[in-house]
Amino acid sequence: MDIAITDKEFNLFREIIYNETGINLKEHKKPLLVSRLTRRLMELGINSFSEYYRMVVTDKGELVRLLDRVSTNLTEFFREARHFDFLRGGFLDELKERAKSTGQKKIRIWSAACSTGEEPYSIAISLLEGLGRDSSWDIKILASDICTEALEAAECAVYTEDRLQKVPRCLWSTYFLRGRYGCTGKYRVKGFVREMLVFRRFNLKERTWPIRGGFDAIFIRNVLIYFDRPTQDEIVGKLLRYLNNGGYLFLGHSETMLGKRDGLRMIVPSVYRRSSE
């Protein structure tokens, strides 16, 4: 089914998407928007984008479904591997030293755009490997995203074999259950890893965030590039309020300029430390 979108209709959707999420859809994204929404229109038996827009603005549930479809969920295990090397190395070394002086063996990390879960599970596995599976540590990872469908997949934690290709083969049996019978070729993250994660849906564009601060690290990678510069600056500024003094902010490799601000010092490319001053 081929449903055309007019310039006026595209601008209406672009405006509501920007107002709700901060995502700034450029003109060249029009075909992408059409392709992602056409199937939904077919499901609803709707023949025009104007009619669908009227539904979106009057039905909060349909608005959520719209935002699900415009969200980009490109991710993979151990994407930008140097970040996870840093977690196992310098990051944990600091926390181990802190524990010696304070007796506090607690780690709190936020994956602020967790998509289908590969990033927060990669964080959890890296911490477990770096700590030698020391069970005396209290570790919690908040995994949040705006996309309900992505969060459902993340909580389910089932991945096809091809999605595990960047996970070292020696770790598969330690952290994943291999599917059998009707689930051949699929793997599920083991329960002791899943228990480290807490999943929440919320929108980074919202004025207030329904979470507490006190994170030792925040991952916000390859997401800010979809926002305009004022929204980027606003979100990074808010993130810093939730980051402990001395905590680390992880950005995507193409977002390094966003870390150049007062209160942040680059440690390695795209990893910044919040000043304790």
Catalytic residues: 36, 145
Residues across the chain: 277
The helix, strand and coil proportions of the chain, stated in percent and rounded to the nearest 5, come to 50, 20, 30
Query: Three-state DSSP class for 277?
Result: coil
Strand partners, 139: 107
Which phi and psi angles does 216 have, rounded to 5°?
-80, -25
Query: Which residue matches tokens 């793997």?
Result: 187
Amino acid present at 48: S
Alpha carbon of residue 75 to chain centroid: 9
DSSP 79: S
